[in-house]
Amino acid sequence: MSQPLSGIRVLDLSRLLPGAYATQMLADFGADVIKVEEPGSGDYGRFMPPQGAGGMSLYFIAINRNKRSMTLNLKSAEGREIFQRMVRQADVVLESFRPGVMERLGLGYEQLKEINPGLVYCAISGYGQDGPYRLRAGHDLNYAGYAGLLHYNRGWHGEPAMPPTQLGDLAGGSFMAVIGILTALMGRAQSGTGRMVDVSMTEGVMSLLPLAATAYLNSGEAPIPGRSALDGGLPCYNIYETQDGKHVTLAALEYKFWHAFCTHIGHLELLPFHHPVGPGEREQAIDML
């Protein structure tokens, strides 16, 4: 059986994590991904520590499997002409430059769709292609902060803590790009024309906070970390330290599971605290557990 994206060609102009992880997923699904890099230096992710055998960055290896690569100087007339010829045979172009860079090279979406009307063009940026922050530089941590994610990720003393992984790059950038590209390819199958996919990593991260963001945008009050239903506010949905110094996760949101849990541990007196509403009940139940 052929892979789902067999026959789809992707030209990847991106650097570092968001674009590379997105096109790796497309390659894993069967797309022919050609990574186009700058002559001389290439993608500077190639040199990020730690290095593996032969001095190749393990970071680079982890997010660039199943791809072909080439170098091309898009600042030269010859390089742009070569890229335009490649676009004629491509299905997808993905880039992660700051808004306006590709247009100045004569290789923006409006220019490339004249060459290939069926082209799906995906641009990943920190804040999207328009808006007041569009030209601001940034990285994963900035986007997580602006989106409000760090409000919920707290350290020992209540201060915002570093996330354990690059949620801005991966969830806000890579996954949103893949969803947008696949959706655009489905649309092209019906209409015959491609489209622009504008991925804002900040907006992508914010979409991961549907409950918290909706509450804040409608009330103007930021939810208190650890107090809402799914981030520590319920005794039945929480993390508890065990007697041996390890931790256990409890996710008994449904009453039947809470009843089974309380029965199993021999503490039926906890049953009324499934969803406590009275003053101090939440803290009392959590302390008991």
Query: Of 212, 231, 210, 249, nearest to 154 (Cα)?
Result: 231
282 shares a domain with 191: no
pLDDT, position 77: 97
Same domain, yes or no, for 258 and 137? no
Which residues constitute the domain of residue 259? Answer: 237-288
**pLDDT mean values, one per 10 residues, the chain (289 residues):** 95 96 98 96 86 86 95 97 98 98 98 98 97 93 92 79 90 98 98 98 95 87 78 88 94 96 94 80 76
State the burial class of residue 146 (Cβ atoms within 10 Å of its Cβ: 0-12, 13-18, 19+): buried
Domain-located, residue 90 = yes
177 and 134 belong to one structural domain? yes
Domain count, the chain: 2
HSE-up of residue 62 (Cα within 13 Å, Cβ side): 13
Is residue 253 located within the same domain as residue 149? Answer: no
Report the C-alpha gap between 87 and 75 in whole angstroms: 16
Residue type, 278: G
pLDDT at 78: 98
Bridge-partner residues for 122, per DSSP?
94, 197
Give yes or no: residues 50 and 132 share one domain: yes
pLDDT at residue number 239:
92
Q: Do 85 and 175 have their domain in common?
A: yes
Q: What is the pTM of this model?
A: 0.90
65/157 same-domain check:
yes
Residues marked as catalytic: 139, 169
